[in-house]
Chain A
């Protein structure tokens, strides 16, 4: 992505304990940085929602409730693009294609809709997923504010 090769106008790095209480903190931090690019309210909601999905996935599926760190790297670019990387060093995803399918869920309780990736894809311009079993997963969300 061209946005990633250029020099960012601002950057933030966050490391959060993989606790569900930090999902709101991650959203608030990324949202606070995004306001520097003066997004519309619905664009900001879209970004917050996508970040929430990726961070929740890292906590529930990456670390499966065990202790770990969620790494967030957030970059702003001059063309009002924001690139947010959410990385975990958890169990990784065996089959990324399957995980990205709408309604697929790795959670058997019936309390997860299996729509996390569908929401990220619908709310961002680009969603990149790299993963290695037993090494971790990185989700890169790219969103350009209009």
Chain B
């Protein structure tokens, strides 16, 4: 099992939350608190949840995504999900949330996060 991690980046009215590790009910709490703190501080226009490094996720991860969507919407911010693995995408799509949360794959903005993460390792 891997610790859940979240790295937050702000760029041009976007808040990118790069989430990694195992997301369950236990680990989601810290990730949630970290994102919400930054969300209220920065008040971005777009929140991007970058999920390429998520190794495991159950419905708590889905709750994390849906909860952030709701919180962001309250402050006029829209949410995107970026680069989910096949397993993560399957869980998210069980809820039908792709109908109101756009899914992005390998966009320029998330590639920046990739490169930054590679630089750290």
Contacts and interface: CB of A to CB of B under 8 A. Distances in A.
Interface of A: 20-21, 23-24, 27-28, 42, 45, 48-49, 52-53, 56, 59-60, 102-103, 109-116, 118-119, 122
Interface string B1-45: 100000000000000000000101111100010000000000000
B19 to A, nearest CB: 15
A115 B59 contact: yes
B20 to A, nearest CB: 15
Contact of B26 (A23, A109, A112): A23
A82 to B, nearest CB: 18
Contacts, number: 72
Question: Chain A binding site: helix, strand, loop or mixed by DSSP?
Answer: helix
Contact of B67 (A42, A110, A116): A110
9 interchain residue pairs of minimum CB distance: A20-B26, A113-B62, A52-B58, A111-B67, A24-B1, A56-B25, A115-B59, A113-B63, A112-B63
B53 interface: no
Question: Chain B binding site: helix, strand, loop or mixed by DSSP?
Answer: helix
B87 A110 contact: no
B76 to A, nearest CB: 18
Contacts of A23: 24-26
7 contacts: A20-B26, A24-B26, A24-B27, A52-B56, A110-B67, A116-B59, A119-B58
A42 B56 CA distance: 11
A128 to B, nearest CB: 19
Interface string B52-89: 00001111101110110010000000000000000100
Contacts of A113: 59, 62-63, 66, 95
